[in-house]
Structure 1
């Protein structure tokens, strides 16, 4: 990539982060810190769960062989991140709590919207 293209990509990244919710920024930071290759993180569908402090989304990243693994669901809340299908018991328990909190918050928000 030539120099002007680098600057355009950098400017777009900076501008897109300016309006981002602080909780979402914190969630992305925690998710990337837990990854094998943090710079390869590609986020999609990242959002706040209703009016809670829980963030959910999908992240794709490179594995040890350099290939992308496919989008993996995550939740962030209670000061930690939980990935779907984690073999770690504490992380699995956090997943259950956060997914329940997210579902509840989404349902409450939908009820208020009606």
Structure 2
């Protein structure tokens, strides 16, 4: 019974984090209320960062394709945003502070390279 209570508490805490993450992502979308989430998970390299996929209605009305996001430190990053690569690296445990500082000064990895890396990781999990 005691172990069950601990597991329930841990599950509730994680669920609360996911809700915080999803709410932050919704605030960054044109029509956040339409958001549908897939695979929102804590990162293995840094447990304070989350990643997942979301699709939502865009400004023209139809649903967009599914888009990968990272969330950490109250910040949401989608592919193409300056912090996407930095959060992705920290998520998978390959972050480098010096590289991150230059990344924050406007040097963004090509979206194609980031997308290919994520697809490769998803296929091999």
Tell me the TM-score normalised to structure 1 length.
0.65
CA contact (8 A) 1:31 1:81 kept: yes
Choose from 79, 104, 114 the match for 2:93: 104
CA contact (8 A) 1:82 1:95 kept: yes
Alignment of 1:30-109 (within 5 A): 30-50=24-44, 52-86=47-81, 92=82, 94-104=83-93
Gaps of 5+ in 1: 1-17, 87-91, 106-114
* Partners of 2:47 and 2:13 in 1: CA distance: 16
The alignment partner of 1:47 has SS state of strand
- Seen in structure 2, the aligned counterparts of structure 1 residues 37 and 103 have a Cα distance that, compared at 3 Å, is same
* Partners of 1:57 and 1:20 in 2: CA distance: 18
Q: Stretches of 4+ moved more than 4 A in 1? A: none
What is the Cα deviation at residue 20 of structure 1?
Answer: 6.4
* Partners of 1:101 and 1:24 in 2: CA distance: 18
* Partners of 1:19 and 1:52 in 2: CA distance: 16
Aligned length: 82
Q: 1:26-72, CA deviations, whole angstroms, 9 ceiling, x for partnerless residues?
A: 11011000110011100001100025100000000001121001100
**What is the CA RMSD across the aligned residues, in angstroms?**
1.8
